[in-house]
Structure 1
């Protein structure tokens, strides 16, 4: 009997998390017109370290920093390509890697996974480096991180209610 209750609880939690993810994807696409995959970058970032609101915000901030670094790398690539040719990629990747890997030594905002999620999100978008790209991808990531936070809160509420029953 105990096993049945555990399975039922897990099913409730899974369905609840799925509803939250579905709503976030729908709002991202139909209301905000931002890419769903970028929303899931924010969702993933929420879970990279410490599953609570404070860490979720820190993780999301690291994604924003990564987006900014990606945009800067894209702009640097555009500027340097006429001068360095095919060596531009090597120079830019090296410079960005040194910078990102150095950021892990910051006291709070030091989530390497968050930085790299932001970088990858920018380059995967194939958008030109711009504030518009930052806004669109950052908004999508923020929706995803918020949705992940809501999913965690709902999970905790379900577990508490189940413990009281």
Structure 2
């Protein structure tokens, strides 16, 4: 909540022209990233998930890059949790899913204070992408999702860089 307040306060302090420039830059970058994703036959919504992950901690390049890393770890742990749940269903029945969710949450929440891997939002966003995409567990699937989210992450970086240069 405080992040939203800080952004609102910052927007009020920005001149109207800079506010409009920031908005136009972000819109152009997002539109271009969507076009690139579609041109490469990648899911645009997956690209936007990378864009969202980039901005979960936009205070520094390191924080944003670690958010992308957590997103990619989330993709992997999503795939592993799907396989694990499937393997345990015959043995545990309906308890398989809550057990796997518990174990995954232990890992992700347990890493919350880690400087590099502590972005829980990005981890869970990666898991959401994995399950929503409904891809088979193959190297091509991971590459596909990694490229699409990377386009979004690069769009986030570009948006930040351009806005720092011209709109702040």
* TM-score, normalization by structure 1: 0.86
SS state at 1:128 partner: coil
Q: Is 1:28 matched with 2:60?
A: no
C-alpha displacement of 1:61: 0.4
- Counterpart of 1:68 (choices 76, 82, 86) is 76
Aligned to 1:87: 95
Q: Is the 8 A contact 2:84 2:100 kept in 1?
A: yes
Note the residue ranges of structure 2 that are not aligned, 5 or more in a row: 1-11
C-alpha displacement of 1:66: 0.8
Distance (whole Å) between structure 2 residues aligned to residue 59 and residue 19 of structure 1: 23
Runs of 4+ in 1 over 3 A off after TM superposition: none
C-alpha displacement of 1:100: 1.1
5 Å matches for 1:128-147?
128-147=136-155
Aligned to 1:48: 56
Moved more, 71-80 or 82-91: 82-91
Return the index of the structure with the highest Cα Rg: 1
Distance (whole Å) between structure 1 residues aligned to residue 74 and residue 80 of structure 2: 10
Distance (whole Å) between structure 2 residues aligned to residue 128 and residue 85 of structure 1: 23
C-alpha displacement of 1:105: 3.4
* TM-score, normalization by structure 2: 0.84
Query: Quick one: structure 1 residues 75 and 132, their matched pair in 2 at CA, closer, same or farther if it must change by over 3 Å?
Result: farther
User: What is the CA RMSD across the aligned residues, in angstroms?
Assistant: 1.9
Note the residue ranges of structure 1 that are not aligned, 5 or more in a row: 161-165
C-alpha displacement of 1:37: 0.9
C-alpha displacement of 1:121: 1.1
- Counterpart of 2:112 (choices 104, 114, 132) is 104
Query: Quick one: structure 1 residues 87 and 40, their matched pair in 2 at CA, closer, same or farther if it must change by over 3 Å?
Result: same
Q: Is the 8 A contact 2:19 2:167 kept in 1?
A: no
Moved more, 108-117 or 142-151: 108-117
Distance (whole Å) between structure 2 residues aligned to residue 13 and residue 29 of structure 1: 24
Q: Is the 8 A contact 1:71 1:134 kept in 2?
A: no
